[in-house]
Structure 1
Amino acid sequence: MKSKKYSVWGVIVAAAVAAGAVVAAPAAPAMANNIDPAADSSLTIHKYAGPENPRGDGSEIADPSGLGTPLSGVEFTITPVSAQGGQPIDLTTQAGWDRAEDATPQNVRGGGYTLGTPVTAVTGADGTVVSDLPLGLYLVEETDPGDNNVVSEVDPFLVTLPMPNRGDWIYDVHVYPKNQLNASIPQKTVSAPAGFTIGSQVTWSIAAPIPQLNSGATYTQFQIVDPLDSRLTFNSATISTAGFAEGTDYTVATSGNTVTITFTATGRGKLVAGESVAASITTTVNSLGANGVVPNQATVVTNGSSVATNVATTNWGALQIVKHVQGDRTSRLADAEFAVFTDAAGENEVARGVTDDEGLANFSLWTGSNTEEPRSYWIRETRAPAGFVLDERLRQVSIAPSSAAEPVVREISNVQQNGPELPLTGAAGQLWLTVGGAALLVSAVGAAIVISRRRKQHA
């Protein structure tokens, strides 16, 4: 009779251990005392996160300090397995143990078994919860991880009250099921743009660590979800880690402006805990928006647990050149051309623009990644408006992230070109002729007076 009871318990322990619950089979050689049908019994669940420990024996562990981090707010559903084939599973009788012999966590929901009314139990701040229960066989399921970011849940397991243990019975049973939390910290970075003006491409890179699971658990879900800012236009996405091929190991889908990379069963089978997956998402920056700071944050989802990356930003600012006549800021000049450079030598040109009818040339320029510090550019006039002198000086400007409505403004004036000297005709020539004629007339009158006086003296 004794061997039959331990055979059943071997099935229960195997199921519990597979689920990550820390329990142990009793020592078979000892002879158990009779079960006390009037005894009170209870199940205490101690919930921890961390590496799995050697299984316990149903008794309380005196020093739990090495078990890991207690998890509060975890809900368990405890359901009595009351009958099999219409016959009660009464563990105060040998017939009850016989009927429980083939029970597993998977087949008690069906397979001819009858379940009683479940009760729920939620762990407290110390990760424990005590449930006073009648003697019997129970299915224990973790039904809600609470606020804990669990990546590997405990599988359902069976437990008996009482539990056989070295020739005796434990009526107050303690189990220590373990969870694995998603402690991964994915990272997001962004490249410098391919160009320095709006309309350039930037690549967002994501390093997604693969979290540890309980032994025997598998990756049932692995996704990278990236909701793009409205100022970004999606171009492409790829997994750059060697050995992963799009279509076979992962798929890329977009919904609205959200990009989702989903690993297939084949791809998930290649995931190795502790390693990392690298993803790249290429976008085009299409506008400055309200402040020129374009953020991006992705989320990595593993087996239902979500961990967000840091926020990376690509930053942009506005430059406006105002062209006017020197000495008259209200006289604006169209058709002046300017080049923008990233260096003080004026060798690396990144943009070129022409002033419009209002004398304005506008540029949207990259200012940096993950920083709102200003960036220096240099501007030079490359073509002056017709009739004005070209100003080829390099001028430095400092651009910080901003909207198009609040640009950095730089006023540059042009000197009007001098016209050629006119010939002595027209109004100017007549004036000099008049002056010259008057001078000749005065000279002639003077000479006549002198001649007249000399004649009188000789008369």
Structure 2
Amino acid sequence: MNSTSRGWAARLAATLGVVALSALTLVPTAQAADPTGNIDFGRTGSIIIHKSEQGGTGTGTPNGSQAPTANAVPGVVFTAYPITSLDLSVAASWNTLASLTVPSTACDVPSLAGQTLGTGIASAPTDANGLTTLSGRQVAAYLVCETSAPSTVVDKALPFVVTIPYPYQNDWLYNVNVYPKNGLATVTKSITAQTGLGLGSTVTFPVTSDIAKIDPSNNFAYYRVTDPMATELTSPAVASVALNDGGTITTVPSTYYTVSVNGQTAKVEFTSTGLAWLKTQGGKKIVTTFTGVVSTLPANGTISNTATLYANTRAAETPGTTSDAVTTHWGDLAITKHDAQARPLQGATFEVYPAAQPYAATCSATVATGATPISVSGATTFTSAASGNVTIPGLFVSDSVNAPINSAYRCYVIKEVAAPAGYVLPADAAAFTAVRVTAGQSTAADVTVTNTQQGVPQLPFTGAGSQVLMISVGGGLLLLAGVGAILVRRRHRGTAE
């Protein structure tokens, strides 16, 4: 944490635009200055806080003649602590204020060296326009601290001292406008279009996190990005860390960060060298690419994943900013194999291929593409059991990022490559069957494939039936031979007479 302190007068002058200071500038709404020359100690005033991001353009003036341009920050709470040891009716107190130093740590445990603070008064959270007001404040000097902020705030406003009334252009302002600034950082997570389609494939998650613009006097105390992966994703790893500068991607030197994996959580944490470099890259983005291997299939087929950014200019740990969840959907494929009489067949072997039209309106109309079958949990062939069933344990369906987003199904094509003994293996196009895979574990067959029994050559004649036929034919031939012999004998007798 930066421990630099500034004189009260210098800091206050900076807040009023005399010195351009990104941590705090003062800009009021338009108002008339008090017409009298003396302070009215019976009058109350207000501290009007306009909360905005670091950066922007322009500086503000306390009389509202100009205001800086920057994005508003809602949801921030400030607390004003009256400095009770300073009596603004005494000239010596103003002299003390002129030399007062306000260290950047003054709000860690609200205090100022040599001074006494009264009970703090908290503001309402800043609204959508970054505005909140501490009204009804008595004439006094106040230490103002940012005491609560959304997790996206990584660089809190530096503490500052303001007086009511505030001396400006030879008059007194009782309603003082201030513009403390924050460094903000958000984080988003995405999924790279899936190329591996079976269990055992790698899913890639690019995580984009902002590099906040921080006050020049501050430094990053820490900057880390974590990805706590679901149990269905094994071998969590970091594939790359890159800088995105308006669309130009460059690799971040590996000496700027460390990579660690603890259980299911992969983490990138920037080193002191990397933190110093990050300070020079405000407004750009870090892209940390995480990977995990899809190893098991949950019952509903959906694997959810988030990432968290932890970044701040203060050493004390604060809650990180977590991205929206992304999801990837997977489903198994249950095949039933039987014969023409619907009896189960064991020993039929299948391969599965991507469909040429993976999200066709009717999967039955699509065909296979590619010459290599999909590997699922290291296997490329799947054989039916005695029940006739075979399950391909997990195929990619869709995800929440790439079109068609969260599709309920994906088309695949199975090919029978070996038939059970005694059955015909389908050939050519008949070997392929288009199927529809939905997310989750199947409770019934997704597709049924029938095999035709093999034909055999005609059997030879054998057995008792053939013997009867042969006897009958043989007896007939003998009878004809006997009749013929009798006729020949009679003819011979007639000739002799």
Supply the distance in 2 between the matched residues of 1:237 and 1:379 (Cα, whole angstroms). Answer: 34
Quick one: which of 297, 301, 308 aligns to 1:299? Answer: 308
Distance 1:198 1:48 in 2: 49
* Secondary structure of 1:112's aligned partner: coil
Task: Tell me the secondary structure at the aligned position of residue 223 of structure 1.
Answer: strand
Q: What is aligned with 1:27?
A: none
Distance 2:126 2:447 in 1: 64
Equivalent residue of 1:100, what SS?
helix
Give the 3-state SS of the residue equivalent to 1:92 in structure 2: coil
Partner of 1:178: 181
Matched, 1:411 2:448: yes
User: Are 1:402 and 2:439 counterparts?
Assistant: yes
1:31-88 Cα shifts (integer Å, max 9, x gaps): x9864363413232232324455544533x1676x655555553211112223xxxxx
Q: 1:422 to 1:296 in 2, by over 3 A?
A: same
1:314 alignment counterpart = 328
**Partner SS state of residue 347, structure 2:** coil
User: Aligned pair in 2 of structure 1 residues 348, 407: CA closer, same or farther (>3 Å)?
Assistant: farther
TM-score, normalised via structure 1 length: 0.79
> Is there any run of 5+ residues in structure 1 with no aligned partner, and where?
1-6, 25-31, 84-88
Does residue 1:74 correspond to 2:76, yes or no?
Answer: yes
Q: Aligned residue for 2:139?
A: 135
1:114 shift after superposition: 1.7
Task: Write the distance in 1 (CA, Å) between the matches of 2:466 and 2:310.
Answer: 94
Query: 1 CA distance for matches of 2:200 and 2:294?
Result: 5
Q: Is the 8 A contact 1:163 1:171 kept in 2?
A: yes
Q: Distance in 2 between matches of 1:205 and 1:243?
A: 14
Secondary structure, aligned partner of 1:234? strand
Confirm or deny: 8 A CA contact 1:186 1:300 kept in the other structure.
Answer: no
Q: Distance between the aligned counterparts of 1:123 and 1:229, measured in 2?
A: 35
Deviation at 1:156, TM superposition (A): 0.6
Amino acid at match of 1:323: K
Distance, in Å, in 2 between the alignment partners of 1:225 and 1:328 is: 57
8 Å CA contact retained: 1:139, 1:157? yes
Residues 249-264 of structure 1: pairs in structure 2 closer than 5 A:
249-264=256-271
Q: Indicate conservation of the 8 Å contact 2:81/2:143, yes or no.
A: yes
Question: Structure 1 residues 252, 436: closer, same or farther in 2, change over 3 A?
Answer: same
Deviation at 1:155, TM superposition (A): 1.0
The aligned amino acid for 1:47 is: H
Give distance in 2, aligned partners of 1:124 and 1:337. 66
1:97 aligns with 2:94: yes
CA distance, structure 2, for counterparts of residue 348 and residue 141 of structure 1: 64
8 Å contact from structure 2 (residues 77, 126) kept in 1:
no
Give CA deviations for 1:413-456 in whole Å, capped at 9, x if unaligned. Answer: 333334455555xxx33321212212333454566567679989
Among residues 333, 337, 357, which one is paired with 2:349 in the alignment?
337
Counterpart residue number, 1:219? 220
Q: Please name the residue that 2:9 is paired with.
A: 9
User: How much has 1:150 moved relative to structure 2?
Assistant: 3.1
Q: Which amino acid aligns with 1:128?
A: T
In the other structure, the counterpart of 1:86 is none
Q: Quick check: 198-207 or 154-163, which moved more?
A: 198-207
**Residue identity opposite 1:161 in structure 2:** I
| 1:317-396 mapped onto 2 (5 Å cutoff) | 317-325=331-339, 327-330=340-343, 332-342=344-354, 344=368, 347-350=371-374, 351-363=380-392, 364-369=394-399, 370=402, 371=404, 372=407, 374-393=409-428, 394-396=431-433
SS at match of 2:101: coil
What is residue 235 of structure 2 aligned with on the other side? 234
Contact kept in structure 1, 2:236 and 2:264, CA below 8 Å: no
**Alignment size in residue pairs:** 430
Distance 1:181 1:162 in 2: 31
Cα distance change, pair 346–81 in 1 and its aligned pair in 2 (3 A): closer
1:198 Cα deviation after fit: 0.9
Q: Which residue of 2 aligns with 1:28?
A: none
Distance 1:172 1:377 in 2: 70
Q: Which residue of 1 aligns with 2:32?
A: none
* Contact residue 22 and residue 53 of structure 1 kept, 8 A: no
Contact 2:333 2:437 in 1 (8 A): no
Aligned to 1:282: 291
Which 5+ residue runs of structure 2 have no aligned equivalent? 1-6, 28-34, 243-249, 313-317, 357-367, 375-379
Change (3 A) 1:408 1:227: farther
CA deviation digits over 1:243-267, x for unaligned, max 9?
A: 6455x43233445533332223322
Query: Is the CA contact 2:102–2:112 (under 8 Å) kept in the aligned structure 1?
Result: no
CA–CA distance in structure 1, aligned partners of residues 449 and 141 of structure 2? 88
Distance (whole Å) between structure 1 residues aligned to residue 265 and residue 121 of structure 2: 41
Question: Equivalents in 2 of 1:137, 1:19: separation in Å?
Answer: 22
Residues in 1 aligned to 2:22 and 2:282: alpha-carbon distance in whole angstroms: 19
- State the 1:132 CA deviation: 2.4
Shift, 1:160, TM fit = 2.0
1:202 maps to: 203
Q: Is the Cα–Cα contact under 8 Å of residues 111 and 117 in structure 2 kept in the other structure?
A: yes
- Distance verdict in 2 for CA 1:321–1:8, change over 3 Å: closer
Shift of residue 143 of structure 1?
A: 0.8
The residue type paired with residue 419 of structure 2 is: A
CA distance in 1, matches of 2:56, 2:44: 26
CA distance in 1, matches of 2:184, 2:197: 42
List per-residue Cα deviations over 1:274-293 (Å, max 9, x = no partner).
32222221211012322333
The answer (yes or no) to whether the contact 2:144–2:160 under 8 Å persists in 1 is yes
Whether contact under 8 Å (1:377, 1:398) holds in the other structure is yes
Change (3 A) 1:347 1:335: same
Q: 2:102 is paired with a residue of what secondary structure?
A: coil
Q: Which amino acid is the alignment partner of residue 320 of structure 1?
A: A
